[in-house]
Amino acid sequence: MDTNHDDERLTARVLIARQLRKLREEAGLSLRKLGSEIHFQHSYISDVESGRKLPSEEMARALDERFSPTIPFTDLLEVVRDALIADYSRTVVAREAEAIRIEVFGSSVIPGLLQTEAFARELLRAGLPRESSAEIDARVAAHMKRKRILEGKTPPLYWAVLDEVVLMRSVAQKGAAREQLSALLTASEHPHITLQIYPLANGLHSMQGGSLTMLTLRDGQRVGLVESFGSGEPVESPLRLVEYAQLFDMAKLNALSKQDSRKLVSRYLEETRDD
């Protein structure tokens, strides 16, 4: 899970809260008056001022337009979200937007770019029980922003191989299971997305217990990220990248076809409906 527990991320959060209160009071605006001007609930603005919540991107843009602060709220929000990404994965995640091809192997959870908002929230709550609701909200927002990479006019080619265990675990998350499995099926229909499932019947594989992400960038350069529980490592060595590419190719060969993978995901989706 690509998260960072460093408290430095709180700095930008504090700046957002203090700057908003200062600008509002200097303008002589009540919470209700400001809410009326920028079309957001005054209670939401109060939560941002107190640090209980972060502003949405829409609110941050509205605040920038209303106050024209020296440090834009949109920039501060970006700093907060960047700090939520673990140090070991930050360089790779930052380059996703440059990728023309993304290859992912997931052995435990659905990859971030394929997660629904509800599933991402349940996953984060389970993995970060000490996080406040505001912090979870910020992490979910960062997840959803990353997903836009696959939704643009010229999205990268995306190839994901998922261990069947991922589907089993998804079904265990009853609240978000149907939506998440349905979203996987929908994603697999896009021509730029290939989804394969590595079935339990095929036994052990070489990437047991971890995940692999490899990016091919516009200039032909490749970078990778290998993750396991609570840790990870960026990979740029050409030799190691070739070795991981070979492992990924073997996983593709031993996984179900696109059609059979869709059938298996559909079967798990039907199980959630039965429940």
The CATH fold assigned to 9-83 is: 434 Repressor (Amino-terminal Domain) (1.10.260)
> What number of other Cβ atoms are within 10 A of residue 164's Cβ?
20
Say what the pLDDT of residue 20 is.
96
pLDDT digits (tens, 9 = 90+) for 47-75: 999 988 888 889 999 999 999 998 899 88
**CA neighbor of 225 nearest in space, from 205, 210, 206:** 210
Q: Which two tokens stand for residue 176?
A: 């978000």
Strand partners, 246: none
pLDDT category, 174, cuts 50, 70, 90?
low
**CB-CB contact of 92 with 213 (8 Å):** yes
**CB-CB contact of 98 with 155 (8 Å):** no
> What number of other Cβ atoms are within 10 A of residue 211's Cβ?
23
C-alpha angle 137/86/97, rounded to 5°?
80
pLDDT digits (tens, 9 = 90+) for 120-148: 888 888 777 888 787 888 888 888 888 88
pLDDT category, 172, cuts 50, 70, 90?
low
Compute CA distances 162 → 45, 144, 200, 208, whole Å.
41, 20, 11, 11
Query: Which one is the CATH code of 94-115+148-274: 3.30.450, 3.10.20, 1.10.1740, 3.30.870?
Result: 3.30.870
Determine which of 5-14, 193-202, 209-218 has the lowest per-residue pLDDT on average.
5-14
Strand partners, 228: 231
Strand partners, 159: 103, 194
User: Residue range 252-263: average pLDDT?
Assistant: 96
Say what the pLDDT of residue 170 is.
66
- SS3 state of residue 234: strand
Give the start-to-end residue ranges of the domains of the chain: 9-83, 94-115+148-274
Single-letter residue type at 185: L
Q: Hey, which bits of the chain come out as E strands?
A: 99-106, 157-163, 193-198, 211-217, 222-228, 231-235
